[in-house]
Structure 1
Amino acid sequence: MIKKLLSVTGFSCLILFSARAQDIQNNPGSNHGNKFEQLGTILSTPNEQRTASGAPGVKYWQQRADYNIKCSLNEKTQTLIGSETITYFNNSPDPLTYLWIQLDENQHSSVNNANYQSSSNMGPGMSVQNLDRTEARNNSEVDNGYGDVITKLTDATGKKLHYVINKTMMRIDLPAPLKSGQQFVFNVDWHYKISDRMVFGGRGGYEYFPEDGNYVFTMAQWYPRMCVYSDFQGWQNHQFAGRGEFALTFGNFKVQITVPSDHVVGGTGECINYAAVLSPERLARFNKARTSAVPVEVVNLAEAKAAEKTPATATKTWVFAAQNVRDFAWTSSRKFVWDAMGAKLGSKTVMCMSFYGKEAYNLWSRYSTRVVAHTVKSYSHFTFDYPYPVAQSVEASNGMEYPMICFNNGRTEKDGTYSETTKNGMIGVIIHEVGHNFFPMIVNSDERQWTWMDEGLNTFVQYLTESLWDNKFPSKRGPAYAIVDYMKLPKDQLEPIMTNSENIVQFGPNAYSKPATGLNILRETIMGRELFDYAFKEYARRWAFKHPTPADFFRTMEDASGEDLDWFWRGWFYSTNPCDISLDSVKVAVPNFSDKQSRTSTSSANDKVPAPIVVADDISKARNRAENIKFYTDQDPETQDFYWKYDRGLVKVNEGKYAELMKGRQAGESVEPMTEAEKAKYANKFFYELAFSNKGGLVMPIIVEFTFKDGSKKTDRIPAQIWRLNEKRVTKFYSLDKEVASIKLDPMRETSDIDETNNYWGQLPEPSKFQLFKQRTGGAARGQSTGVNPMQVAQ
């Protein structure tokens, strides 16, 4: 090979940062072959239920449970009485000898709760509520009267069934094995004392309003419901400790709810007897809302305020039906304003509705239903068309999701004004909880085992939806820079995303923010929007109304995009390493066209004739010879070339002649002068060698922004694969047409780099000035949620 060499004369070499951060490797002692290894056996083995592509297999199956429920709410005693008939379909190939039922209300019981305790301490001051809860926890042998009370459990013929309650789970022992393809019908009667959600916490319960003496009931996890039996886990009967949410089985529901006659009720599915429970005027308003482009108040503020003052004593029964849902929740109160509008989604109309009290009216009447409609349309764009007929938002001073209905917060001040933080918080939580209809209410992952599969994926699409709502919306989860404070925490305060929900210390950042951020980085920085959006939509489409696992998600994202992302899942989901890429040094050079330096030749003692190749013996070769195998080259003379003979000492080479021919050569190359055209091509070039180190341990793309001395900029996006042969240090050589003034890594903060102080070289721009002032207590900052707000000042 003949090469034309251009020597470079370096005039500066600036070492920026030489300290080396600790790097935890899968194979300590090696600087490669760790972070880019395939996940392999970390993931479940593909089979006929779940394929290697991430799609459901030809023998995929899942169970089904249909419910027929009747319940009655006693507002005066705050109790709920119910009876239900469950039809359970065994679609698995396995015979079942027992069924597992979730009794979520036992979370509030002092004797039947999961009893997952955490450290507690005595602070300098404690509220009465905290002391009450402490006493209740420490007196677990005394029954506080909360939790499910099972009064009857029979089969379809009325014969009693044996059951055992283990904390928040109930096992029903079947009289005979339930074979594959069979169904089992049983009846459960139960009742429980409804808890004050504002005192006990949790998702379901009531809130009491002492100013008007009324209640808002948010009835969630309120009926005994089936656990999931799956191909990858069997029964998911992990105890409900309050944090890890639910794994649930799809089915059809018919629910009859008896409440005070002046209550307004919203629930999962469609109410099929509006004509019986609504006045003609309200029914006409509801029908008008179907085709309205703006929310129509089915129950207006004046009517809600009037109902608060004169509680009814009679009752009404509202009947709801829902098809192919995994759960059912409802709300009931006489305090509710109820508005609705129809949102067009392709050829269908989704009824978007909101229920809220006077305490939230000025915010919710303007925003809630509009945000519901926006969310349904936005999520449909990124996944699949929303399949249900209804989407509802209920103001309940919390945030929790169920099929077609969710509970959210966002109340105004007593004068009807609100801060910007309250407004944005309300919009964000409505988007999040309505979005849960897609993850996990339809793409039905196991929340108790993998919280990130519903919260993380949903938070990511929430971020996309917020971005489409308002270009200036202050999203707190999704942007890469927003996760930095969490990722720079000490390792003893971190755990991988792939951690069971009950064992996570920093729950919000780990289960919500970090996975959402990772997906956003995949979309914007690693894969690009076109590839990512197609693969993400394919995952949602494949697993709609099914039970996906993490492996199904990881495999589908790779299968549908053609991108090998195992390095990303390994680093972002299975480790706690942060991203900290350092620009350690920059070498700068200009061309030197000296022929004397360029035209050099050397010879060495190694120019002697090389010795014949000696192949080391091994057990296979020895055994082959012992078995007298006839090798191909021994049998065919045409394959016995010069080197076959040379390796066997059958030909000789003149060493002196070989050495003479090697003179003037170096490594098989010859140097000759560059032409004038070639010199002109490179005469005005500037050469830079950038050295990077991976101080955080997480391999990520390297994004380099050059700012030239003329003020122009250029960005180079180096994919993460540059680290595959050395996961600790890499270099990259650049030939540029302009002289560089400064270099900056990750200029748009896309990679969650936890230390930006080692991301610079050269002359940096002067920092802009800002006004320094002393803030007065009670100032009217736009973003605050307490104190005086700008809206009050304006009024």
Structure 2
Amino acid sequence: MKSFRLVCSVALVVCSLPAMGASSTRYNPLETFAPFAYPQPANAFRTASGRPGPLFWQNRADYQIKAALDPATRTLTGEEVITYTNRSPDDLDVLWLQVEQNRYRKDARGAFGDDAFPTEFTDGEHIAAVAVEGVGGALQNADFVISDTRMQVRLAQPLKAHDGVVRLHVRYSYTVPGEFGGRTDVNPSKNGDIFEIAQWYPRMCVYDDLRGWTTDPYLNNEFYLEYGNYDYSVTVPWDMLVVGAGELLNPQDVLTKTEMERLDKARHSDSTVMIRSADEVNDPRSRPTQSGTLTWHFRIDNARDAVFGASKAYIWDAARINLPNGKTALAESAYPVESAGNNAWGRATEYVKAATEYFSRQWYPYPYPVAINEAGTAGGMEYPSITFDDKDTKGSDLHALIAHEIGHTWFPMIVGTDERRNAWMDEGFNTFIDIYEADHFNHGEYAPKRDEEYAPGHGNPADEIVKVLTDPDAPPLLTRADQIKEKYRHPVTYFKSAFGLVLLREQILGPERFDPAFRAYIQTWAYKHPSPSDFFRFMESETGEDLSWFWRGWYEHNWKLDLAIDKVAPMDGDWRKGALVTVSNLDRLVMPATLEVIYTDGSKQDVRVPVETWMQHRSFAVRVTGNKAVKSATIDPQHAIPDVDRSNNTFTVN
């Protein structure tokens, strides 16, 4: 989902204020550095090094879907065949599917959790038939029961462990809601309605080694989905364009000769090429026929979802994406005329192209043939190879929005975390990689990235996160996503998670250790389902660092950091022998920190105080070599770490 800019600088402030004595500390080394209990155990499925084990398995779901959209009645009807492969060691007597259009029913569980949503209701998902394909393709009706946004299908014969396969046939329909709260909607524009179609087919729940069937109801948090191939077709009126996840397989049936020529040109162009211009939006000649319907056929492989947008109002443009090893993909944008212009969506394809190229070089190559921005009422929502973004956003905010949403390709489209329980592992990780993309884009045109939703005034993130750390009601990061109130969703799930990785990269490990480890984490867990413990263990093992104190203080708890300087004195009473700077830790969180010593002649010296300083001590006298009188000492002068009380960070020698 949508997130904005995070990082900026702050001027050095040095003042002389009374220091709090170490006697008032809440810090206990035995608590902070106690052995860390990982949330999930290590075993033959997931190892102590944070990697898939020798017995790791993952089920698979492949989809063939045929759907039709009637914009006049806002009705979507569909039929699907799900080929489900059971690679687990367990025989399965039931299958669980998600039927998330039931989120819009008045009696939906999710309708009781948020005062602001919903304001529109539908009658939910209509399941016309469920059948299991037998030998020779014969269909046998299956018993099923629907509970809120889940459907259980009861199998006549258990699905065998270790690569048993079942083909499930489902016919269904629903009314497309006009409100985006469930991440799918229809919204008006000057030249026609825009349909953003997600959660549009019953889809398999995940069955894994952590929880068995993962059947959390859809309460408005995001998704946890199996990987597979999607072959799907969408039939719409002749005058509508469809932009969908994956590759368009039948352009000759749904595009004009001119549009196909322009698309071919775009595949070889680093500049944006117009496929259908604003002047052509209402021109019937921009469609290959002027009556009836057209069926758009798409395919995307090794994905966890597939969605599409449809409208007769779209402007459409595209450009080439240059990927590592000489590969390419196609950046595309579809938007109404109201969103056009170089201060708005006229640069959208430029933005998605640049972000995709940067993330591919920095972290992991982009895997899909297209990267599409679709403009509608969705504030910002991500899916494999396509995003739904706000049609009214412009300028730097549009860049940040597009970069963030396409950044979700890496988390959770490639690294398939459970967003419904651990949203911080996709929203926060993605916000983290956005920071550096903003620095890189067009020589820093929109840098630095700041967190405007949570840090108005563009404050320093280390100081702004203090608002979370000092809030007694703020939930820890390891809180289940459905339990996090909207008030804290962005500050905790996005901002605190992202800033935790900034601290790891820039203060605790350094880029030279963090970057290769993070790349290896993505590659190792690509198209798999890592748990929080897998991430914790992997980063420790790969970087060679015991980070249990950080996982405990930053993720398991919402602990505070309060470093203080209690005293500055000459060594043995003689400045020529150096200085003793007494630093205390007054609260439960610890961090490595920089100690800056300023001498009376104006010169400075920095001393790094490692986190191990606090393994045995609440207060420690740091020996600073030198032969000059000291004027003052400051711990964390650049405000790089989240100290909750800056008033005790500086000691001035009288």
Shift of 1:21: 6.0
SS in 2 for 1:155: strand
Separation of aligned partners in 2, 1:715 and 1:378:
34
Shift of 1:359: 1.6
Shift of 1:702: 2.3
Pairing of 1:135-174 with structure 2 (within 5 A): 144-156=121-133, 157-174=138-155
* 1:235 matched residue in structure 2: 213
Identity within the alignment, %: 35
More displaced 10-residue stretch of structure 1: 482-491 or 104-113: 482-491
- Is the contact between residue 355 and residue 393 of structure 1 (CA under 8 Å) also seen in structure 2? yes
SS in 1 for 2:416: coil
Q: Establish whether residue 390 from structure 1 lines up as the match of residue 373 from structure 2.
A: no
- Is the contact between residue 308 and residue 335 of structure 1 (CA under 8 Å) also seen in structure 2? no
What's the CA shift string for 1:326-345, capped at 9, x where partnerless? Answer: 10111011111111111111
Query: CA 1:17 to 1:112, structure 2 compared with 1: closer, same or farther past 3 Å?
Result: closer
Query: CA 1:372 to 1:20, structure 2 compared with 1: closer, same or farther past 3 Å?
Result: farther
Separation of aligned partners in 1, 2:462 and 2:523:
30
What's the CA shift string for 1:662-681, capped at 9, x where partnerless? Answer: xxxxxxxxxxxxxxxxxxxx
SS in 1 for 2:367: coil
Query: Aligned match of 1:195 in 154, 157, 177?
Result: 177
> Max radius of gyration: which structure?
1
Name the TM-score, length of structure 2 as normaliser: 0.90
What amino acid sits opposite 2:21 in the alignment? S
Separation of aligned partners in 1, 2:471 and 2:226:
39
What's the CA shift string for 1:432-461, capped at 9, x where partnerless? Answer: 110111110111011111111111111111
* 1:634 matched residue in structure 2: none
* 2:272 matched residue in structure 1: 295
What amino acid sits opposite 2:401 in the alignment? V
Query: CA 1:164 to 1:112, structure 2 compared with 1: closer, same or farther past 3 Å?
Result: farther
What amino acid sits opposite 2:126 in the alignment? V
Query: Aligned match of 1:251 in 228, 233, 241?
Result: 228
What amino acid sits opposite 2:620 in the alignment? V
- Is the contact between residue 216 and residue 331 of structure 1 (CA under 8 Å) also seen in structure 2? yes
Shift of 1:738: 2.6
Shift of 1:133: 5.1
* 1:178 matched residue in structure 2: 159
Q: Establish whether residue 272 from structure 1 lines up as the match of residue 246 from structure 2.
A: no
What's the CA shift string for 1:353-411, capped at 9, x where partnerless? Answer: 11111121113454211111121122223322112111111122310000000011252
Shift of 1:697: 1.8
- Is the contact between residue 32 and residue 588 of structure 2 (CA under 8 Å) also seen in structure 1? no
- Is the contact between residue 435 and residue 448 of structure 2 (CA under 8 Å) also seen in structure 1? no
Q: Establish whether residue 757 from structure 1 lines up as the match of residue 647 from structure 2.
A: yes
* 2:514 matched residue in structure 1: 532
What's the CA shift string for 1:129-179, capped at 9, x where partnerless? Answer: x7x957x7xxxxxxx543111011111222211001000100000111101
Separation of aligned partners in 2, 1:296 and 1:474:
29
Separation of aligned partners in 1, 2:318 and 2:615:
55
- Is the contact between residue 483 and residue 517 of structure 1 (CA under 8 Å) also seen in structure 2? no
Shift of 1:751: 0.7
Q: Establish whether residue 745 from structure 1 lines up as the match of residue 638 from structure 2.
A: no
Query: CA 1:733 to 1:292, structure 2 compared with 1: closer, same or farther past 3 Å?
Result: same
SS in 2 for 1:456: helix
- Is the contact between residue 244 and residue 298 of structure 2 (CA under 8 Å) also seen in structure 1? yes
Query: CA 1:88 to 1:274, structure 2 compared with 1: closer, same or farther past 3 Å?
Result: same
Shift of 1:101: 0.3
Shift of 1:279: 0.2
Shift of 1:579: 1.8
Query: CA 1:488 to 1:571, structure 2 compared with 1: closer, same or farther past 3 Å?
Result: closer
Separation of aligned partners in 2, 1:739 and 1:704:
16
Separation of aligned partners in 1, 2:291 and 2:177:
22
Shift of 1:20: 6.5
* 2:320 matched residue in structure 1: 342
Q: Establish whether residue 563 from structure 1 lines up as the match of residue 545 from structure 2.
A: yes
Query: Aligned match of 2:201 in 209, 223, 226?
Result: 223
Separation of aligned partners in 2, 1:33 and 1:342:
56
SS in 2 for 1:93: coil
Shift of 1:250: 0.4
Shift of 1:95: 0.2
- Is the contact between residue 218 and residue 396 of structure 1 (CA under 8 Å) also seen in structure 2? yes
* 2:96 matched residue in structure 1: 100
Shift of 1:14: 9.6
* 1:599 matched residue in structure 2: none
Q: Establish whether residue 16 from structure 1 lines up as the match of residue 13 from structure 2.
A: no
In structure 2, stretches of 5+ residues that fail to align are: 1-15
- Is the contact between residue 268 and residue 328 of structure 1 (CA under 8 Å) also seen in structure 2? yes
* 1:34 matched residue in structure 2: 31
- Is the contact between residue 344 and residue 395 of structure 2 (CA under 8 Å) also seen in structure 1? no
Pairing of 1:73-112 with structure 2 (within 5 A): 73-112=69-108
What amino acid sits opposite 2:534 in the alignment? D
Shift of 1:314: 2.2
Name the TM-score, length of structure 1 as normaliser: 0.74
- Is the contact between residue 260 and residue 315 of structure 1 (CA under 8 Å) also seen in structure 2? yes
Separation of aligned partners in 1, 2:148 and 2:415:
28
In structure 1, stretches of 5+ residues that fail to align are: 1-12, 26-30, 121-129, 137-143, 413-421, 593-683, 765-795
**What is the CA RMSD across the aligned residues, in angstroms?**
2.4
* 2:62 matched residue in structure 1: 66
What amino acid sits opposite 1:175 in the alignment? A
What amino acid sits opposite 2:578 in the alignment? F
Shift of 1:347: 1.8
What's the CA shift string for 1:229-275, capped at 9, x where partnerless? Answer: 00111111011001x21110001111110112121111111000011
Return the structure number with greater relative CO, CA threshold 8 A, min gap 6: 2
What's the CA shift string for 1:702-725, capped at 9, x where partnerless? Answer: 211122223222221211111011
Shift of 1:15: 5.9
Q: Establish whether residue 499 from structure 1 lines up as the match of residue 479 from structure 2.
A: yes
More displaced 10-residue stretch of structure 1: 547-556 or 359-368: 359-368
- Is the contact between residue 48 and residue 60 of structure 1 (CA under 8 Å) also seen in structure 2? yes
